[in-house]
Structures are given as structure tokens and as C-alpha cells.
């Protein structure tokens, strides 16, 4: 486990050192490396600090991160807590459904199938260390079928922290 944290720390330092610089593409035979330009279009926050990612998916940055942003194909690790969205409850947090536990991050590849439709787009554009609140409409979550204990047609509220970020 210490090795994984060491690798994460080294990756973070490497990302910080290269922040704002283009990457280098390795070539065989001693050729001059060619710059690799990575560009992710990230929507801006509105006056209320809400980022409308797409219809049915919004985010609010709770605390800023650093380095480059997460993009499709990256291997990411998040600490996550999930509630059923309920606008009659404090902070809109209805029944708590799930938590990653805050010790070992929940790891997955952004853009991979197997998650609800709003999951990867909601994490895309997060910076390492960023904490974000996602609100995901039923159409981008479990829809009409639900997924017990998530009831049918439930809007989801996630609190996420991006704790690891690696290029594929």
C-alpha cells in the first residue's frame, strides 16, 4: 500500500513540475522528441459557482486542486460519498447510499463502460486534490429502474475528491 501512495506522490510531483508545459512523445532511434499537446475543453462555472457539464449533470467545486485536469482514458482514484438528492433536507442530502470509505480510493478508468452515464463526465476536468459536488439527474444515473437502495427516478448527489490521476 505504501508503494501505491509513493507512486501517487511521485506522479503528483511530476504533474506539478510539468504543469503548463506540453508533454514529450518518446521516439525510437534517438530522434528528437515531438511535443504532445493535450487539450481538454472544460466548461466554466456560472456566477453561483455551478458548472453545467451537460443537461442533467452539474458540479460545484468545493475546494480547488492542482496540476492538469482528468480526461477520458486516465486512471483515477476518488474518495466518494453518495446520497439520494432531496431538496427538503439540509445540503440536499437525503438517504446516504454509499461511501468509498475515505481510506483506499475507488479506482477506475475515465470513460470506461460499467458506471452510470453521468459518472465519467462529472469527474472529467477535475484537478488532482479537487473536491467537487456532483448532481446527476435520473436519466444519467439509474433511471426508471433504480438500483436498490437507490429508488427509481432518483437524482444522485455525490461528494468526490480526486486523489490519484494517471495517464493511460
Nearest in space to 40 (alpha carbons), one of 128, 127, 131, 124: 124
Q: Which domain holds residue 82?
A: 42-166
Domain count, the chain: 1
For the record, the C-alpha cell of 80 comes out as: 466518494
Q: What is the CATH number of the domain that holds 50?
A: 3.10.50.40
For the record, the C-alpha cell of 109 comes out as: 478508468
Given a cut of 60, is residue 33 above it in pLDDT?
A: no
Quote the pTM value: 0.76
Helix (H/G/I), strand (E/B), else coil: 45: coil
Specify if 12 maps to a domain.
no
Task: Please name the residue that has the C-alpha cell 459536488.
Answer: 133
What pLDDT was estimated at residue 11?
35
Residue 84 or residue 32, greater confidence: 84
At 109-118, the pLDDT tens digits run: 999 977 899 9
For the record, the C-alpha cell of 149 comes out as: 437502495
Amino acid at each position: 500500500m505504501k508503494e501505491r501512495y509513493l507512486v501517487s506522490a511521485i506522479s503528483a510531483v511530476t504533474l506539478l513540475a510539468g504543469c503548463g508545459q506540453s508533454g514529450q512523445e518518446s521516439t525510437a532511434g534517438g530522434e528528437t522528441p515531438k511535443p504532445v499537446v493535450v487539450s481538454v475543453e472544460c466548461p466554466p462555472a456560472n456566477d453561483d459557482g455551478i458548472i453545467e457539464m451537460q443537461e442533467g449533470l452539474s458540479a460545484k467545486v468545493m475546494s480547488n486542486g492542482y496540476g492538469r485536469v482528468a480526461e477520458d482514458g486516465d486512471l483515477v482514484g476518488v474518495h466518494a460519498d453518495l446520497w439520494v438528492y432531496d431538496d427538503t433536507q439540509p445540503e440536499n442530502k437525503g438517504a446516504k447510499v454509499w461511501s468509498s470509505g475515505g481510506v483506499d480510493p475507488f479506482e477506475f478508468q475515465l470513460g470506461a463502460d460499467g458506471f452510470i452515464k453521468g459518472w465519467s463526465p462529472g469527474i472529467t476536468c477535475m484537478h488532482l486534490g479537487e473536491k467537487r459536488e456532483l448532481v446527476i439527474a435520473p436519466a444519467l444515473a439509474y433511471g426508471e429502474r433504480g438500483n436498490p437502495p437507490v429508488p427509481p427516478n432518483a437524482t444522485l448527489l455525490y461528494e468526490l475528491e480526486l486523489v490519484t490521476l494517471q495517464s493511460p
